[in-house]
């Protein structure tokens, strides 16, 4: 479950710690935690040949997924410095993935049932996996959780469309998507603002910012046919990827004041941003002129 890219960063916290995935000398994909003091640390795996880090909190706890033994089934993990990598299990099926974690150590993601249907979950140390349900269909995925316990993701409705959702302990799962088409709520900040993307069939896929007061605001593109918002900080600054006029991938920073700004590349044609912290530090991936792909850390000047 999920797509693995070599040398990709996924998130950055306020301490400047970065997570992602990379390829080692044996061409095995591994989850890593990078810190300014210690550099890159291989977080290992659950017995298989690959792992990917997907979420990070301020305590440096990491979540993601790893393959198991030699059967290559992927299951969700929680990694801590004290205990290493812990398997969070499934709903009885073979696969699961953990995508987000808040500062209380609550984890969200998705897990399979025995019939290969997968549902969004909330994991807590006391209860384990809790099924968050769907919007009337068979499948759902949770991507992020904030410290208030608000969860975002995508869920299938009764018509088979995947729709962006916001889940809260008091209201359960609410559809915050468009009137038609597909949408994904990918990140949520501490103010309840949501970043994601939408495809309404009759236009380009576009990044969005959603707030409880204003609803969904489409952010446009960098001149190309699509965009997607992958990260948001508490100031409401968003980062992500968009195609430009030449249809190359470009990392963008979006703010209320200046709109969508092209962050450039490390010399290659394509680039994407995945996370931004409250200091405005951004992480992502970019190609170099020689065609290799590298993770990057970008700081405002």
Instruction: List the domains of the chain with CATH numbers.
Output: 132-298 (2.120.10.30)
DSSP 266: S
Is 16:29 a contact under the CB 8 Å cutoff? no
Residue 71 confidence (pLDDT): 65
Q: What per-residue confidence (pLDDT) applies to 6?
A: 46
Helix (H, G, I), strand (E, B) or coil at 165: strand
What is residue 25's predicted lDDT score, i.e. its pLDDT?
77
Query: Are residues 200 and 164 in contact, defined by beta-carbon separation less than 8 angstroms?
Result: no
Q: What is the pLDDT of residues 1-58, one digit of tens each?
A: 233 334 556 789 999 999 998 887 777 889 999 999 999 999 999 999 899 999 999 9
Give the pLDDT confidence score for residue 7 in this predicted structure.
54
d(CA 102, CA 26): 33
CA-only gyration radius of the chain, Å: 18
232's tokens: 């948001």
> Which pLDDT score is estimated for 300?
85
What residue ranges of the chain have pLDDT lower than 70? 1-9, 70-71, 179-180, 201-203
pLDDT of residue 118: 97
Position of tokens 């490390």? 266
d(CA 282, CA 259): 17
Q: CA 151, CA 122: separation in Å to the nearest integer?
A: 9
Token pair listed for 248:
């190359």
Query: What are the tens digits of pLDDT across the range 166-194?
Result: 999 999 999 998 766 799 999 999 999 99
Question: What pLDDT, on the 0 to 100 scale, is given for residue 229?
Answer: 97
pLDDT at position 2 is 30
* pLDDT score for 9: 64
Report the pLDDT value the prediction gives residue 296, as an integer from 0 to 100: 87
What pTM, to 2 d.p., does this model score?
A: 0.94
């Amino acid at each position: 479950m999920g797509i693995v890219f070599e040398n990709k960063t996924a998130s950055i916290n306020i301490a400047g710690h970065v997570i992602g995935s990379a390829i080692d000398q044996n061409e095995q994909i591994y989850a890593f935690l990078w810190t300014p003091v210690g550099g890159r640390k291989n977080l290992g795996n659950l017995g298989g040949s690959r792992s990917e880090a997907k979420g990070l909190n301020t305590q440096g706890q990491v979540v993601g997924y790893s393959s198991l033994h030699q059967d290559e089934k992927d299951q969700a993990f929680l990694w801590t410095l004290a205990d290493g990598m812990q398997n969070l299990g499934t709903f009885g099926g073979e696969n699961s993935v953990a995508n987000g974690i808040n500062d209380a150590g609550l984890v969200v993601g998705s897990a399979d049932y025995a019939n290969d249907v997968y549902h969004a979950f909330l994991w807590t140390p006391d209860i384990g996996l809790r099924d968050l349900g769907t919007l009337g269909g068979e499948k759902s995925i949770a991507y992020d959780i904030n410290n208030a316990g608000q969860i975002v993701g995508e869920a299938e409705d009764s018509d088979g469309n995947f729709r962006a959702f916001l889940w809260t302990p008091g209201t359960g799962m609410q559809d915050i998507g468009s009137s038609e088409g597909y949408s994904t709520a990918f990140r949520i900040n501490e103010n309840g603002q949501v970043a994601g993307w939408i495809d309404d069939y009759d236009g380009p896929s576009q990044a969005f910012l959603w707030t409880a007061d204003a609803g969904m605001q489409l952010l446009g593109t960098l001149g190309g046919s699509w965009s997607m918002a992958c990260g948001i900080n508490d100031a409401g600054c968003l980062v992500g990827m968009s195609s430009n006029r030449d249809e190359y991938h470009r990392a963008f920073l979006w703010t209320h004041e200046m709109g969508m700004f092209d962050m450039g590349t490390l010399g290659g044609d394509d680039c994407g941003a995945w996370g931004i912290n409250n200091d405005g530090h951004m992480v992502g991936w970019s190609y170099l002129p020689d065609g290799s792909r590298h993770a990057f850390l970008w700081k405002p000047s």
